[in-house]
Amino acid sequence: MEASQEKVSVARLSVYSNSSLVILKVVVGILTGSVAIMSEAIHSGIDLLAALIARYSVKKSAEPADNEHRYGHGKYENLSGMIEGSLIFVAAVWIIYESVKRFFEEFELMALGAGMAVMALSAILNFFIARRIMKVAKKTESLALEADAYHLMTDVWTSAGVFAGLVIIQVTGFVKIDPAIALVVAAFITHAAYDITRRASEGLLDTSLPEEELKVIEGILKDHDSQFLNFHRLRTRKVGPERHVDLHLTVPRDMSVKEGHDFVDHLEQSIRKALPNTVIVVHIEPCNAKCEECKMAPNNNVFAGSGKTP
């Protein structure tokens, strides 16, 4: 399956599963009167909205560059991550408000068995779907899908926590555990919102690639340093699933245009093989011809010197 089609397929799966869980949790939340279950219904509602945003963004980011977006549409995934993070923050604030208010109220919980059944179903279903989405997210380097998978995995833990709390309430009758669990749910999703927002903002702010990826690029350049004098002005960033790299290479003054073009093509292919989905721009500069190290060895397109800067 083509990468873009696979991304859309798993995003659609997330939409279907979250739609079902939202309906179940709202119904059971109303039946039981549990603020913890209602907080989980809101959590799943946010997951559903996030899944819808992710589905749109992965389709949009796969579109080729056009006259208005010469660098493509990759940042739609970063933008969707920012929106998802903001929505989760809003949900967390509402849950905290309702939970604190519930501490000072008298209330009764009913139909706990139904609540436990729905929470168990939610945890199991989201566990397998989150694993599926995360696998595709890592494979395609999709921030939007990774954020969606992270949402669902958070839902696994919070649903399991609500399930455990309902079991304790069933055994002990101590209903104040319910708002306490809801506060724990809020803490989990607040952390998820912070992490998603931070990572999404890195792409929007053109943060450099991770250190390990920079070392890969520099290592490839070092492997070819017999064919150029030096490199400088190395700049990197990530836009959605795409990496962007540009740099300057100093080459011999007598290198022909074809030789320079062929060498840069080879260098770009080596980098793309190590780091897929990389867009590379190389600017070639002639050496100052003041040093013998700039001379090519006869007929083999390599420098006679050591490759050090003169």
124 pLDDT tier (thresholds 50, 70, 90): very high
pLDDT digits (tens, 9 = 90+) for 38-97: 877 877 787 777 777 777 777 776 676 777 666 666 677 777 777 777 877 877 787 788
pLDDT digits (tens, 9 = 90+) for 136-171: 888 877 777 777 787 777 778 778 888 888 888 888
Query: Which residues have CB under 8 Å from 1's CB, separation 6+?
Result: 9
Helix, strand, or coil (residue 17): helix
Helix boundaries (H) for 141-210: 143-172, 177-204
Residue 307 has pLDDT above 50, yes or no: no
Residues linked to residue 278 through DSSP beta bridges, in sequence order: 243
Where are the domains positioned within the chain?
3-204, 211-294
Integer Cα distance of 36 and 21 in angstroms = 15
Q: Is there a shared CATH topology between the 3-204 domain and the 211-294 domain?
A: no
Instruction: For tokens 């962007």, name the residue.
Output: 244
pLDDT digits (tens, 9 = 90+) for 169-203: 888 888 888 888 878 878 877 887 787 788 777 76
Domain 211-294 bears CATH identifier 3.40.50.2300: no
199 and 143 in contact (C-beta within 8 Å)?
yes
CA 206 to chain centroid, in Å, comes to 15
In the CATH scheme, what is the code of domain 3-204?
Answer: 1.20.1510.10
> For 248, phi and psi rounded to 5 degrees?
-110, 135
pLDDT digits (tens, 9 = 90+) for 105-120: 776 778 888 888 988 9
Predicted pLDDT of residue 113: 86
CA dihedral 196, 201, 202, 204 (to 10 degrees): 140
Residue 22 has pLDDT above 80, yes or no: yes
Give the residue with greater pLDDT, 285 vs 99: 285
Residue 25 has pLDDT above 80, yes or no: yes
Integer Cα distance of 7 and 92 in angstroms = 28
Give the residue-averaged pLDDT of 13-32: 85
